[in-house]
């Protein structure tokens, strides 16, 4: 190989590194844009929903107590309502976090660097 070939190889290597750094910068900007709405959503959810939810639970508890005259049934109904609401919130937060996993970055690295695909495939055979 001549000196010119080494020069081209080095330039291609640095060009590849430059593209990777640019990709990480873009992913950082995307993450920054995703985190701010998440924080605002969480704060807004806490402030507004706590007072509304407390009033709603007191009202529902009072209505159930007027109907059944059993305090334990009221508590169980409110507990079931809270568990259902928490399940719905967890579902939507899970969907939001799945969108933040940088799937395009992982696909890019798996496409251009096949050694990432085979990390889990390398196993030691017990019979060798």
Torsion of the alpha carbons at 98, 103, 105 and 110, rounded to the nearest 10: 140
**pLDDT digits over 69-112, tens only?**
998 999 999 999 999 989 998 999 888 887 777 777 777 777 77
Place of tokens 């259902």: 84
Instruction: Please give the radius of gyration of the chain, using alpha carbons only, rounded to the nearest integer.
Output: 27
Alpha carbons 54 and 75: distance in angstroms, whole number: 14
DSSP-assigned letter for residue 2 = -
**pLDDT digits over 7-46, tens only?**
777 888 888 888 888 888 888 888 777 777 788 888 988 8
């Amino acid at each position: 190989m001549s000196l010119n070939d080494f020069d081209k190889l080095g330039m291609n290597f640095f060009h590849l590194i430059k593209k990777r750094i640019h990709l990480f910068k873009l992913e950082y900007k995307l993450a920054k844009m995703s985190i701010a709405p998440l924080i605002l959503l969480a704060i807004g959810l806490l402030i507004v929903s706590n007072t509304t939810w407390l009033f709603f639970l007191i009202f529902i508890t009072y209505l159930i107590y007027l109907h059944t005259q059993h305090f334990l049934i009221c508590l169980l109904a409110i507990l079931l309502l809270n568990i259902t609401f928490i399940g719905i919130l967890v579902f939507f937060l899970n969907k939001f976090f799945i969108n933040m996993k940088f799937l395009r970055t992982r696909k890019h690295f798996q496409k251009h660097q096949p050694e990432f695909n085979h990390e889990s495939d390398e196993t030691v055979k017990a019979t060798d």
